[in-house]
Chain A
């Protein structure tokens, strides 16, 4: 079955470390997205990519980086510059643009220890 796989489901980071969250899809979708979810704040867009080797910053890109070397993969790196990284991170994909809606992965919960 087609879908989006996020790994790991839980991740712990020490202060000053970079960590990378994985997102893989086999839906043949062109566009992929990363959102951050905090209690009471809904979903906030970090980065998105509409085609391979191209991506755009969202509303809260500072302290994050991404790459899109393959259509199927859109990893997110949380750098040490992100001062408050503890959150639930959601990856999504869509056929093309947002008008058909997104398909979401199951999320990664990142905790700073």
Chain B
């Protein structure tokens, strides 16, 4: 069985501040991990993915995430927030032989000027 926990349903930052969105997973097999972003009334867009290569994964729009097996975490970071980063972010997990992704409940990122 697999599961994902995203700590914090809402995170607020100021423009220019560090963005940190937390994701912890549970998986009985080596995980594949994903971060997606969703803007209002739109579908989800892939930000980045970890598939057992480098533990530090760089994605689009300046985001990156680090896979830490000992902590079962895959937190998403960005050094400097932009107003355009305001959206909902979802972490998801899969694994070898799995047919579907399991998603967390999402974290809404609010960016203030």
Which A residues are closer than 8 A to B by beta carbons? 4, 6, 31, 33, 35, 40-43, 45, 48, 50, 56, 58, 88, 90, 92, 97-99, 101-107, 109
Contacts and interface: CB of A to CB of B under 8 A. Distances in A.
Interface in B63-110: 90, 92, 94-101, 103-106
The interface residues of chain A, by DSSP majority, are classed as strand
B42 A106 contact: yes
27 contacts: A6-B43, A31-B99, A35-B103, A42-B90, A42-B103, A43-B44, A48-B100, A50-B99, A58-B100, A88-B41, A90-B43, A92-B43, A97-B94, A97-B97, A97-B99, A98-B98, A98-B99, A99-B94, A99-B95, A99-B96, A101-B49, A101-B92, A101-B101, A102-B46, A106-B43, A107-B42, A107-B43
Contacts of A98: 32, 94, 98-101
Contacts of B90: 42-43
A45 B105 CA distance: 13
A88 B41 CA distance: 8
B44 A104 contact: yes
A38 to B, nearest CB: 10
Interface of B: 9, 32, 34, 36, 41-46, 49, 51, 90, 92, 94-101, 103-106
A44 to B, nearest CB: 8
Contacts of A104: 36, 43-45
Given A99-B32, A99-B98, A43 B43 contact: no
A91 to B, nearest CB: 8
Centre residue among A41, A92, A97 by max chain B CB count within 10 A: A97
Nearest to A105: B43
B44 A99 contact: no
Contacts of A4: 43
Nearest to B32: A99
Contacts of B44: 43, 90, 92, 102, 104
A90 B44 CA distance: 9
A25 B104 CA distance: 25
